[in-house]
A and B are shown apart, each in its own frame.
Chain A
Amino acid sequence: MTPFQSALDPGARQAASIAWLWWGFLALLATIFVVVIATALWTLTRRHRGINQEPLERVHSPSTATEASLTRWVGGATIVTVVLIFGLIVSSVLTGKAISKPVSKQPALTIELVGNQWWWYVRYLDRDPTQVVVTANEIHIPVGRPVLIRGTSHDVIHSFWVPNLNGKRDLIPSRVGEEWIEAEKPGRYRGQCAEFCGLQHAHMALWVIAEPNADFEKWKQAQLQPAPEPTDPHLARGQQVFLSNGCVMCHSIQGTPAFGQVAPDLTHFGSRMTIAAGTLPNSRGNLGGWISDPQSIKPGNHMATIALPAEDLQPLIDYLESLK
């Protein structure tokens, strides 16, 4: 389990190349820093071997031998600098090429990812329409299998970045950018939007959950089911509250007449780890706060503030949490 995102704790081959590059840069540049600072300190503190300080106004003309020696030193340092910078550029470009290469001809899964202000629309593409899964803010993938993310945006430019798995991929309106991810070990990897996209950019996170293939298939089959019809009257009341208020204008729940397309699909809301795009853990209390006053939790987000009396709010929360 990796509770925090870190580019230095790679869970995939691509992230490992990036981490190597980062450590390489750090080691080389730290060495150069130490050498430069040490040289400067040595120059400042070394003894001036018995020579009287020359007045500054006089034209300074060192001997030919000193001049030649200085030229050699400065010239040598310049050549070393150019070679090192060139080396860094080459290694950076090679790493960039390596991580953007398709992992395989045939992805095990193709996922459409659409950035929205400020949440992620996720759709598992399939030739068979009955196998298409729509969810939000949480991507499940099987471990050790190449997954192709096809990303775009519905409004402004966003950027998909799960540091433990791969580099960034900008999501640009009306263009499709591709990124391969292939987790080598099971775990929960946090990602976030890496391109400033407005007021709630900082609260636009998502989770990638890598699990063994069997668990993934189980999850997928569960996601393909429509929301269960509520059996007990309390939950049925919750469903009625959902359908007869503003919720239904934006959200969809498969198996009900809720077909809103502009906000996260809530068919299996109860199975997700977080609410409000990774802003808060998915708990009963957080959900209640989010529904009652979303603008205090994420000021400026597009969730409408709807006044619900407590006797409507409680069944609604329970109904949503029951959508496993």
Chain B
Amino acid sequence: MTRQTLFGSQSFTKVASGLLALHRLVKVGQEDTPEADSIRDALDAPLMALNPTEKKRAQLLSEDLYSVSEPLSGSNQKVMNPQAQQKLIEAYEAKESGDWDRALALLRRWKDYISPELLSYLRGSIWLSAGNPSVATMFYEHAMESDPENANYRAIYLHALAESNPEQADNLACEILVNHEKNEPIVVARAALIRFNKLENSLGLHSIKLSRDLIPILERNMERIENDEDTMRQKTLYAMTTGVLGFCHELQGNKTVAAQYYSRGILENPENSALLVARGILLYGTSPVAISDFEQALELNSPLIWPSFFLAHHYLLNNKYDQCRTMCESGLRLEGNAATIGQLKEWLAISYAELGFSPQLVRFAFEDALRIDPLNKLAKRNLECYESFINKQLGCETLLWEQKPIADIRQFGLAERPYFWAA
């Protein structure tokens, strides 16, 4: 099955956005207003730009949105049977493999066998997975409104809203945190995460204050989670709460407490690679636990660059150049900012040099590092050192690389890492 890498062009996204606006008007009986006419007029150009597949997808999206904007009154739900069950499993598998059109088509065909709120939840999950949080938000909102007692619907709605409308999500998160005792722990944790993500974008005094405010709320949330067996079984919730608490304590300068929270999370979720990476970065250079955390995160196929990055540095310092090279190469296949990628390329160049690769390849790797991050002065000096060595200049009989101290690398990781409990 082929994964659809582009579920929609820019024009499709505009059309989807217009359809959401139209269906919101349908929901409140305003579809015959000048506002609705303006939206239809604005949709003409992007609709013309769609290819036939996208146009069909947009039309079916509009049909699906009627389940939200004009839900049928009365229950037509059929009793679940093995065939319908199988088709829903197929829909889930199609979503997981990125075949979103097929996943949506299967839901459309078998929708009568599932409740309206579950149908909206599943549709929201497909659209979120397909990279359109705005559409996902509308479906999740319907799931949440149809079943207000279901805290998971509220939490996933908040998550999608944070991507589609960060400002609105932040306002809602503030309201939830003010009344945190009245909200389910998963909703509180998600709200804290939203506030925290905002904080991540504005590190400074504000972030220290916010993290200080979040700590008692999240510690109370931990208490509520740990006192309830059912809630305690929600591994993601526990990981999210311990993760954010750990990070808040890091920002307060309480590194020991932060590490303890990460450890508590890991104890309950030994396979949560995000927690392992968080603890690894915090403890790098001060405890051997960091190295095993990164190794474990790699075994768990962490999508983050940090395990490879820190392990590459660790092997470099220990003159294990072949392992360093492997780590650099695996890290370079992942997403990272220029400074991170630049350092990996520099370490790759050093490994090549130490492993006796050709000078052309070593130079190319150094130059590549500098091209990506021209501010990497160490790479520049190490390249000069290498050139001197190659030319056998006086006083440069051996290769003496300049390396960043462990503490600097740890600090770099702490400062540069993006927040990664969001998923």
Whether chains A and B associate is no
B-side residues, CB < 8 A to A, are none
A-side residues, CB < 8 A to B, are none
